[in-house]
C-alpha cells in the first residue's frame, strides 16, 4: 500500500481567461478533500485564483519561477514574490520550458534551490522524449535530470516533488501504462535514495503527468510509487478534473483508514 497521500496538480499552461479557470475549480469551494489539490494558473491570474479559492483547500502555485532573486531581469518573477503572494508551489523544468525556453538542468537546479530557500515547494519535472525512449535511454536521461537538477540540494525539513512527465505522453492522449510508469517511478525513487537517503526518498511525492484523464487516473494512482498526478488538458474541464481529484481522494481515504 502506497503510504503517501496523493497530490493532484493542475497545470493550466497558457490558458484562460479567468472565467474558464474559475469554472474549472468552482465545485471545490467549501469541500473537504483528503488528497491534496493544487492549481497552477498563468502568473497574472494567481491573485484572482487565491481570492476565488479562499474558502477552499486548493493550493495555488505557479508554472515557473525565476532563477534570480531580484534585479534587472525583465519579465521574471522570484520565488520569494510567489511565496509572499500566497503561492504554495512552483513547477520547475516542465518539458515545454526545456524545449521552447532553453531551460536546462543547471537552471532547474538553481530554481529548485531558490524555491526551497523561500519555503515554496518545487515540483521538478523530468521525462524522456520519444526519440530517447525508442533509443532505450530513458533511465540515462532521468539520471542526468535528477542528479544535475538536484545537485547539492538540502532537503532537511523541506518538501519537494518530482513529476515524471514523458514528453511523448504530453497532450497526445497516449498516457504511459500504469505498469510502465510504475517502473520508471521506481527507478526515480532509487535515484532519489542515492541522492538523499532512504528516509527522505520515501517521503518525496513522485507524480505522473502526460494525458492523465478521469479514466486512467485511478489505476495510475494505484501503483505503489505513483503518488499523484500532474494534469494538463483534463484539468480545464470541470467535470473531468473533479473526477480525477475524487479518484485521488479515494486513495487518500484508503491510506488514512489503513493507518
Ligand atoms: P496533458 O495532461 O495535457 O497531457 O499535459 C500534461 C502536462 O504537461 C502537465 O504538466
Q: Give the number of other CB atoms < 10 A from CB of residue 75.
A: 5
User: Do 69 and 89 touch, CB atoms closer than 8 A?
Assistant: no
In a domain, 27, yes or no: yes
In a domain, 108, yes or no: yes
Q: What distance in Å separates the CA atoms of residue 222 and residue 123, rounded to the nearest whole number?
A: 21
Q: Is the beta carbon of 231 within 6 A of some atom in ligand 1?
A: yes
In a domain, 26, yes or no: yes
CATH code of the domain containing 115: 3.20.20.70
H-helix or E-strand spanning residue 162: strand 161-164
User: Do 207 and 161 touch, CB atoms closer than 8 A?
Assistant: yes
In a domain, 1, yes or no: no
In a domain, 121, yes or no: yes
pLDDT of residue 2: 52
Q: What distance in Å separates the CA atoms of residue 128 and residue 52, rounded to the nearest whole number?
A: 36
Residue identifier of the C-alpha nearest atom 7 of ligand 1: 232
Q: What distance in Å separates the CA atoms of residue 143 and residue 209, rounded to the nearest whole number?
A: 18
Exposed, middle or buried, 110 (CB in 10 Å: 0-12/13-18/19+)? middle
In a domain, 243, yes or no: yes
Question: What values do phi and psi take at 67, rounded to 5?
Answer: -85, 0
Q: Is the beta carbon of 61 within 6 A of some atom in ligand 1?
A: no
In a domain, 2, yes or no: no
List the domain range (segments joined by +) for residue 144.
7-258
Does the reported pTM lie above 0.85?
yes
pLDDT of residue 3: 77
Counting the structural domains of the chain, the total is 1
Q: Tens place of pLDDT for every residue, the chain, 259 residues?
A: 557 999 999 999 999 899 999 999 999 999 999 999 999 999 999 999 999 999 999 999 999 999 999 999 999 999 999 999 999 999 999 999 999 999 999 999 999 999 999 999 999 999 999 999 999 999 999 999 999 999 999 999 999 999 999 999 999 999 999 999 999 999 999 999 999 999 999 999 999 999 999 999 999 999 999 999 999 999 999 999 999 999 999 999 999 898 8
Q: Which is catalytic among the residues 96, 165, 185, 191?
A: 165
C-alpha cell at 242: 473533479
Residue 154 is given by DSSP the state -
Amino acid at each position: 500500500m502506497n503510504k503517501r497521500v496523493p497530490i493532484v496538480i493542475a497545470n493550466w499552461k497558457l490558458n484562460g481567461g479567468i472565467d474558464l479557470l474559475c469554472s474549472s475549480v468552482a465545485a471545490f469551494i467549501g469541500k473537504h478533500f483528503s488528497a491534496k489539490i493544487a492549481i497552477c494558473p498563468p502568473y497574472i491570474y494567481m491573485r484572482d485564483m487565491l481570492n476565488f479559492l479562499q474558502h477552499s483547500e486548493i493550493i495555488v502555485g505557479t508554472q515557473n519561477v525565476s532563477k534570480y532573486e531580484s534585479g534587472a531581469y525583465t519579465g521574471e518573477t522570484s520565488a520569494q514574490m510567489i511565496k509572499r503572494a500566497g503561492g504554495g508551489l512552483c513547477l520547475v523544468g516542465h518539458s515545454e520550458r526545456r524545449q521552447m525556453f532553453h531551460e536546462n538542468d543547471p537552471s532547474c537546479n538553481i530554481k529548485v534551490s531558490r524555491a526551497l530557500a523561500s519555503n515554496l515547494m518545487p515540483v521538478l519535472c523530468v521525462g524522456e522524449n520519444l526519440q530517447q525512449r525508442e533509443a532505450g535511454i530513458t533511465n540515462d536521461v532521468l539520471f542526468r535530470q535528477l542528479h544535475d537538477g538536484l545537485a547539492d540540494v538540502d532537503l532537511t525539513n523541506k518538501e519537494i516533488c518530482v513529476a515524471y512527465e514523458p514528453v511523448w505522453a504530453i497532450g497526445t492522449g497516449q498516457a504511459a501504462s500504469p505498469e510502465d510508469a510504475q517502473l520508471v517511478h521506481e527507478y526515480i525513487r532509487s535515484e532519489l535514495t542515492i541522492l538523499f537517503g532512504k528516509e527522505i526518498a520515501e517521503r518525496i511525492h513522485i507524480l505522473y503527468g502526460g494525458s492523465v484523464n478521469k479514466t486512467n487516473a485511478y489505476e495510475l494512482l494505484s501503483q505503489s510509487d505513483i503518488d499523484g498526478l500532474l494534469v494538463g488538458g483534463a484539468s480545464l474541464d470541470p467535470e473531468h478534473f473533479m473526477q480525477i481529484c475524487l479518484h485521488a481522494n479515494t486513495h487518500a481515504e484508503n491510506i488514512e483508514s489503513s493507518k
